[in-house]
Structure 1
Amino acid sequence: MSSNVSNALARAARRAEQQPFFLASVLAAYRQANRLDDAALATLLDCQLADMLRLALCRRPATEQTQFMADVDQLAQRFNLRGDQLAMIIRQVDALAAIQQQVQVAYDGMGMLRAARDHEEPAAIDEEGQHG
């Protein structure tokens, strides 16, 4: 593979990391969460480092279980990698995203409660109608 082609693939894969449609986003999230580099991830998947760029540019497998496994199997055959590891990586990233979303919702809720407490409560009115 020429250097220009591999550089173009690398740039495209890095851009694809920002798009949930692509496996690049999953692989990047997994690398970051586990503090891995591309070579370590390729070793985990038991695939060639050069194939990682092409894998990253593939569509992310469907979420429905039957289609998910069919998609993972197809990717495993295409790139000669461990499908079980790829499935585990995708599911782990999905689980982390779900946890982060729940934490964010809880944090946002706490912020709203905090904001509500920051408002001064109206002064109590005593029996004679006077503010106390």
Structure 2
Amino acid sequence: MKNLKLVLFTFLFAAISTAQTKGTLTGIITDKDANNDPLAFATVLVKETKTSISSDENGKYSIELNPGNYTIEFSFVGYESFEKTITIKKGEVTTIDGYMGSGNYTLKDVVAATNRKKITESEIIVEVKKSQTSG
């Protein structure tokens, strides 16, 4: 019984001390072009750790990080991504909300080229006969 109490106490102490060494980054990502509606499944990338998470269906996200300075990149397909530098402190919750707008992407030049090939009726008849004999 003593050993069980010691194991439980050690486990509880380790869990509490580990939880206190990290900080939490949290927030909501919204679409600024659509009345700040939540942007579901947007990507939040922590560049220094190369860790990324997605916001939930309500645009909310949360990630635990070790204390320090980080560059956070918010992105979503078809939207302009943006970065923010943050500082995470031990045991604290840092809230960063992201307001993303659709990107104005334009093409510089589009060139369409084609070659005209004139096919005579006799060439078409030959091609039809070839396909009928081979098929």
Q: TM-score, normalised on structure 1?
A: 0.20
Q: TM-score, normalised on structure 2?
A: 0.20
Larger Rg: 2
Higher relative contact order (CA 8 A, sep 6+): 2
Q: Which has the higher helix share?
A: 1
